[in-house]
Amino acid sequence: GLSRVLGNCLHHENARIHRSINASSLLNRTWSYRFHKGRSNNISTSTDYPEFRDLPHIKTHNDLYKFSIEDPELFWSRLARSRLTWSKDFSTACKSDFSKGKFGWFEGGVLNASVNCIDRHLEKRGDEIALIWERDEPGTHRFYTYKKLSEMVGKIGNLLTNSGVKAGDRVAIYLPKSPTAIATMLACARIGAIHSVVFAGFSADALAGRINDAQAETVVTANQTIRGGKLIELKKMVDAAVSKSPCVKRVLVYYRTEAKVPMGKLDIDMTKAMVQESPNCPVVERNSEDTLFMLYTSGSTGSPKGITHSTAGYLLYTNVTFKHAFDYNVGEKFGCVADIGWITGHSYVLYGPLSNGGTTLLFESTPLYPDPGRYWEMVERLKLNHIYLAPTSLRMLLKSGDEYVKKYDRSSLRKLGCVGEPLNHEAWEWYYNVVGERRCDIIDTWWQTETGGICISPRPSEIGADIQPGMPMRPMPGIDLALFDSQGKEVKGEDVEGALCIRRPWPGMARTIYRDHDRFLKTYFQTVPDVYYTGDGAHRHKEGHYQITGRMDDVLNVSGHRLGTAEIEDVMDDHPDVAETAVVGFPHDIKGEGIYAYVVLKDGRKTKKNELDQQLRNAIKKKIGGLALPEVILFTPGLPRTRSGKIMRRILRKVASNKFDELGDTSTLSEPEIVDFIINKHKELL
Ligand code: ATP
Ligand code: MG
């Protein structure tokens, strides 16, 4: 399997040439920025990691990292006992069998995630704000204290139990980002049910597919939602989905708006029913390895996978990474704008922040509503200390100019996070200089639905506390990264590239693909034996820092030279007229693979298209080399995306190869019209 999957990987004889290509392009990219106050090399074991106060050899963050790799049992046991609240202590930290894809963390332990996210904070922080609901309508935010959230969770938990939901049952949640959605997820956790959140922007068919795959008997939804000022008839979509999902026995309907909707015999008016329920809901204790939730991946590379996560390991991993990747202090307002339909919304809107007793934002709107200043107006009004978003929204906002940012006071911001796709240099610079006024750290975080939490981010380290643009840089504690070549051999040393793998289990890793352990085993554990195969490629730089080069499936092989798509895109993105780009390969008679570039221009660009075409080619030639020149540059008003905003390169690849009938699973595509545009334009160019 390996040579097929990594078929495009580095050939030995080309390694030298390839390295020199990278080295020359890197010459242009040697900026680095210092970490700011509060992130020094030296660890403060009294505040950062009190668990290791008695270990004198741990003085710096790098000492801590080394310790986490050398003695994972002690490292994770201590953190688990101090950061989580248990009803029964566990016996061992980790048991693992890579060959079977079986992992067990903190076995023997008993706990409940809702207790860890709410109950244990009530005494000290009951009147503090848990949730800030930034509703779609600008300026109408609402605050929810831990006490209030606890009452909602209790009522929904009782409602679910009284409607017949039991521990282990799957509950599909198709709700807008709202306190009700968070409370429903936590209510499931409280009674031991498995939540399966489906992004409320998905179609009825996509919803039905996920309900059926999970065999969910219960669906929780809203009458309507509002996004960007537009009403969406959510309940209608659910009715259509349920007609194709015979497993569904009940539908709970939360009234987000005043509008009445037809209620059938499966439907329960949740808003009304909650009034009758007691706010005190008994806790159903869970074993460490019981499934907390399942969630489908974005579907960027194929059909979405129903990833499952455990209770104890997942909770601990999101708790620890949230605190340390963002240097979060209780009392600060954390603004992760991702929807709860994605893993980012699970780990860094809900479980990470709330298990730390933090204050978390629920952003219901879109970055462009009512105008491209929405995020920054919100930052000023709510005095957010952290913002965590996706590169795609940065590239979109940067298109609209700086005025929308500069108009608002962003002095409350301390850390600027991002996740989802490679953060290109232009977007990095804009985030750092314009949004953060050169004052805030950029925290580019690499991780996946499957990893549960952040695995690579610019955490402090003794190698140097600088942050380098365009890369997530350093593995988080406990994450043992390794690169592999097409022969399945480890690529050692520095300034090298390969398939990014994780060599040791970590608590937050996925446990299986729901009802398809074979696919789990095949996708992650069989390409390279005894490691977790991420599917992404990475470059390890001189200082040992990691840069993501793109998906392994997207790696180009031009005349025997291996090129990362991210690098070519990065060079074109730097052009002042270019908003964003996507580069893919297509079969080429002579070169083996040719390069095809899709380019989206910024609003109000000045340059003519044929001049622009030439300028882009010149830039690629200068910064990477003639080898990386595209055969085709196609200008388009947009790119096909998943609903989570990621570019669907697999579709672009099919178009470039004239395979219009083989677009594959398009159920997670957000604007199908763009694909038609691109196909027509491509045919014109032929
Ligand atoms: P599918 O697995 O269904 O194809 P997906 O991989 O897009 O979809 P997610 O789990 O949402 O689903 O995304 C994880 C992927 O996102 C990573 O494997 C990586 O390719 C990309 N990614 C996430 N963060 C970063 C980052 N900081 N830099 C570069 N790429 C990133
Ligand atoms: Mg993936």
At residue 37, the pLDDT reads 54
ipTM associated with this complex:
0.99
Q: Which of 671, 686, 516 is nearest to 586 (CA)?
A: 686
User: Which residue is closest in CA terms to ligand 1's atom 12?
Assistant: 298
Q: Is the minimum distance from the CB of 421 to ligand 1 under 6 angstroms? A: yes
Ligand minimally distant from the alpha carbon of residue 296: 1
Examine the pLDDT at 642 and tell me if it is beyond 80.
yes
Look at residue 50 and give its three-state secondary structure. Answer: helix
Asked if residues 222 and 177 have their Cβ atoms less than 8 Å apart, the reply is no
Q: Is the minimum distance from the CB of 300 to ligand 1 under 6 angstroms? A: yes
Q: Which two tokens stand for residue 314?
A: 């997942």
Q: Is the minimum distance from the CB of 420 to ligand 1 under 6 angstroms? A: yes
Q: If you ran DSSP here, which 8-state letter would residue 456 be given?
A: B
Ligand minimally distant from the alpha carbon of residue 499: 1
Higher pLDDT, 590 or 45: 590
Q: Is the minimum distance from the CB of 341 to ligand 1 under 6 angstroms? A: no
User: Which residue is closest in CA terms to ligand 1's atom 17?
Assistant: 448
Examine the pLDDT at 560 and tell me if it is beyond 90.
no
Ligand 2 centroid to residue 598 C-alpha, Å: 22
φ/ψ region of 676 (left if φ > 0, alpha if ψ in -120 to 50, else beta) reads alpha
At residue 623, the pLDDT reads 85
Look at residue 486 and give its three-state secondary structure. Answer: coil
Using 50, 70 and 90 to split pLDDT, how confident is the model at 462? low
Higher pLDDT, 388 or 465: 388
Examine the pLDDT at 15 and tell me if it is beyond 80.
no
pLDDT tens digits for 27-50? Answer: 345 567 777 655 666 776 656 899
Q: Which of 122, 194, 188 is nearest to 153 (CA)?
A: 188
Ligand minimally distant from the alpha carbon of residue 297: 1
At residue 474, the pLDDT reads 95
Closest ligand 1 atom number to CA of residue 551? 20
- Helix locations, 34-174, DSSP H: 61-70, 72-83, 113-114, 120-125, 146-162
Mutate to test the pocket of ligand 1, among 197, 199, 342, 449 (most ligand atoms within 8 A of CB): 449
Q: What is the mean pLDDT of residues 554-563?
A: 84
Q: What is the mean pLDDT of residues 183-200?
A: 97
Ligand minimally distant from the alpha carbon of residue 554: 1
Q: What is the mean pLDDT of residues 630-657?
A: 93
> Tokens 């007691």 appear where?
278
pLDDT tens digits for 536-550? Answer: 999 999 889 999 999
Q: Is the minimum distance from the CB of 218 to ligand 1 under 6 angstroms? A: no
At residue 26, the pLDDT reads 40
Q: Which two tokens stand for residue 323?
A: 């605190």
Q: Which two tokens stand for residue 117?
A: 């996210």
Asked if residues 200 and 210 have their Cβ atoms less than 8 Å apart, the reply is no
Ligand 2 centroid to residue 156 C-alpha, Å: 32
User: Which residue is closest in CA terms to ligand 1's atom 27?
Assistant: 446
User: Which residue is closest in CA terms to ligand 1's atom 1?
Assistant: 299
**The residue type at 66:** K
Q: How many residues make up the chain in this entry?
A: 686
Using 50, 70 and 90 to split pLDDT, how confident is the model at 655? very high
Ligand 1 centroid to residue 293 C-alpha, Å: 19
User: Which residue is closest in CA terms to ligand 1's atom 26?
Assistant: 446
Closest ligand 1 atom number to CA of residue 668? 3
Ligand 2 centroid to residue 303 C-alpha, Å: 10
Ligand minimally distant from the alpha carbon of residue 391: 1
Ligand 1 centroid to residue 60 C-alpha, Å: 30
Q: Is the minimum distance from the CB of 553 to ligand 1 under 6 angstroms? A: no
Q: Which two tokens stand for residue 44?
A: 């403060």
Percent of the chain's residues with pLDDT above 70 = 93
At residue 44, the pLDDT reads 67
Mutate to test the pocket of ligand 1, among 197, 213, 300 (most ligand atoms within 8 A of CB): 300
User: Which residue is closest in CA terms to ligand 1's atom 29?
Assistant: 422
Mutate to test the pocket of ligand 1, among 513, 548, 573, 666 (most ligand atoms within 8 A of CB): 548
Higher pLDDT, 562 or 581: 581
